[in-house]
Amino acid sequence: MRFKVIDRETMDVSSDYELRFVLNGDISGMPDHSTLALCGFEKGSVCDLPTMKRIYVSITDDKPETLRLAIAKTVKALAGHKIDSIRLPKFSASEPGELEEQLAAIAEGFELSAYSFDKYKSKPSRTTIERVVVSVSGIDLADAEEAILKGRIIAGATNYVRDIVNEIPQEYNSLRMAEDAEDLAGYYGTVTCRCYDKAYLEQEGMNAFLAVNQAGPYEPRLIHLSYVPDGESYGRICFVGKGLTYDTGGLSLKPTSSMYTMKSDKSGAAAALGIIKAAAELELPYQIDSVLGVTENCIGNGAYKPDDVIRSRAGVTIEVTNTDAEGRLVLADCLSWAQDHIKPDLLIDLATLTGACVVGLGDYTSGVIGNNYDLQMEFKTKAQDSGENYTILEFNPHLEKILESKIADVKNSAPGTMGGAITAGLFLDKFIKDEYKDRWLHLDIAGPAYVGSDWGYNPAGASGAGVRGCIYFLMREVEERVAEQ
């Protein structure tokens, strides 16, 4: 998709179609006022008038997320039309920085809504819109173009992640993810990648990660990408991603209906790749590391079993009570590795970790878990500017007791399902060293990472959850640092 920014009325620019936003359904002054009145246009309406080559979409305000969602409605409504280009109404700057945010959101709205995973469809159908024209006033064209580019980069990284998560299990395995990571690093001068094999994991004593891999047809991979900015850096942030290219549940086999969609269990690792891609393209002034723990959770003769006791990399012994609680085993060793080898200022893991998080928060919201409430709050507030939803789930000492094991230091799953998202977080916390307790966040993206039907600008399937939230969090951090200087 191409975007053109101009600083005069869009009327002068030729385009196939025009989009008009209608604030709170107020159609007075609109060119097709009488037709809209005839159609009963009101708050919440979308009215496509093909003969006028115009579409009207009601909005309640002009906040970035409202614009993204209105654009999603537009792209959906125009899905069957053979339109190459569309123009938007004029946007004027009011508060400093507001127009830039709106322009980035417009670009995100179009790029995210236009995405479709159709490589296995004999007859793919997707929007034909290739060109978007936006007119602005009160802003330098160069600044407007930069804002649009920012939005396109963020959406591009999200779509890149969607492609990885949507890719099917017979194609996508640990070795493919390692190739993708190497390719990504090859593309940017500021990004490097190292992929570690099974022998290395054995040498590091990453037995929890290795246990999950035991029955898999592919070797595990520990992938470490590092983005180092060319100029100034405000610090080092490490993302750790759960990369289960498939989760059958292992011997604690998932029932048929829950296994379907488990190709999405690599969403955390995929998001960690997308964050590196966006950070490199945005040239963010932070060193960013992504550590991906990648394997499949399979059944078979060699599979790890409930009742097994594993000595993790950190030395904590784990009684396996459920082989379907595998993500936390992979993450335990990866988090331990990241703390010792990377020593970041901030450690954030992303994982489709629990069904309980989806039960608690619904499909569209991720859980933010950790020991530092201020940090959780800060992340939630900054990340939500992206349009992603985050809710804080707090620890409490009573829940901690249910992970106690009779024969090892800890159980990998609590009996019953109550509080499952928090107990999973409490399990991970056993692998967080004292000096990291306050600098660690766990993001459970199990709900939004993959949803069966489309929502807003997300199509059915992978949404790329985590990328936009983390990138907006980082961008806001940068803005804060710059303002402090």
Binding to ligand BES by residue 352, rule CB under 6 A?
yes
d(CA 307, CA 407): 10
Q: What is the dihedral of CA 53, 109, 164, 343, to 10 degrees?
A: 170
Minimum distance of ligand BES from residue 450's CB (angstroms): 7
| Interface residue with ligand BES, options 326, 333, 388, 429 (CB under 6 A) | 326
Options 45, 322, 389, 405; binder of ligand BES; rule CB under 6 A: 322
How many chain residues interact with Zn ion (CB under 5 A)?
6
Is 247 a residue that touches Zn ion (CB under 5 A)?
Answer: yes
Binding status of residue 327 toward Zn ion by CB under 5 A: yes
Residue 356 interacting with ligand BES (CB under 6 A)? yes
Q: Which residues of 96-114 are buried (b: 16+ CB within 10 A; e: fewer)?
A: eebbbbbbbbbbbbbbbbb
CA distance 213 to 195: 16
Q: Which does 100 bind (CB under 5 to 8 A by kind): ligand BES, Zn ion, none?
A: none
For ligand BES, which stretch binds (CB under 6 A), given 101-109, 225-233, 349-357, 470-478? 349-357
Amino acid found at 261: T
> Should residue 420 be labelled a site residue for ligand BES when binding is judged by CB under 6 A?
yes
Spell out the alpha helix ranges (H) of 384-466. 397-400, 420-429
Site string (261-300) toward Zn ion, x via CB under 5 A? ----x-----------------------------------
Query: Which of the listed partners (Zn ion, ligand BES, none) does 446 bind, with a CB threshold of 5 to 8 Å by partner kind?
Result: ligand BES
Shortest approach of ligand BES to residue 271 CB, angstroms? 14
Give me the least distance between CB of 432 and Zn ion, in Å please: 20
Residue 293 site contact among Zn ion, ligand BES, none (CB < 5 to 8 Å, cut-off depends on kind): none
User: Pattern 121-160, binding to ligand BES, x per CB under 6 A?
Assistant: ----------------------------------------
CA 192 vs CA 48, 223, 238, 256, 270: distances in Å = 48, 11, 14, 40, 16
The answer to whether the CB of 208 falls within 8 A of the CB of 333 is: yes
CB of 353 to Zn ion, least distance (A): 7
Residue 157 three-state SS:
helix
Q: Does 265 bind ligand BES (CB under 6 A)?
A: yes
Q: How far is the CB of 192 from ligand BES (least distance, A)?
A: 30
Asked if 319 touches ligand BES (CB under 6 A), the answer is: no
Q: Which residue numbers are catalytic?
A: 254, 328
The region of 6-14, 72-80, 225-233, 348-356 touching ligand BES under the rule CB under 6 A is: 348-356
For residue 308, give Cα distances in angstroms to 221, 314, 319, 353, 425.
22, 17, 6, 21, 21
Nearest distance, CB of residue 158 and ligand BES, angstroms: 18
What the block records as the tokens of 36 is 């809209």
Structure-block tokens of residue 167: 């890719």
How far does Cα 356 stand from its chain's mean position? 19
CA within 13 Å, CB half, 443: 33
8 A C-beta contact, residue 424 and residue 356: yes
Size of the site for ligand BES (CB under 6 A): 16
Q: Is 296 in the site for ligand BES (CB under 6 A)?
A: no
CA dist 71 to 42, 286, 365, 380, 394, Å?
17, 32, 21, 24, 35
Of 324, 333, 385, 477, the one binding Zn ion by CB under 5 A? 324
Using an 8 Å Cβ cutoff, are 444 and 356 in contact?
A: no
Where does this chain bind Zn ion (CB under 5 A)?
A: 244, 247, 265, 324, 326-327
Where does this chain bind ligand BES (CB under 6 A)?
A: 247, 265, 322, 324-327, 352-356, 358, 413, 420, 446
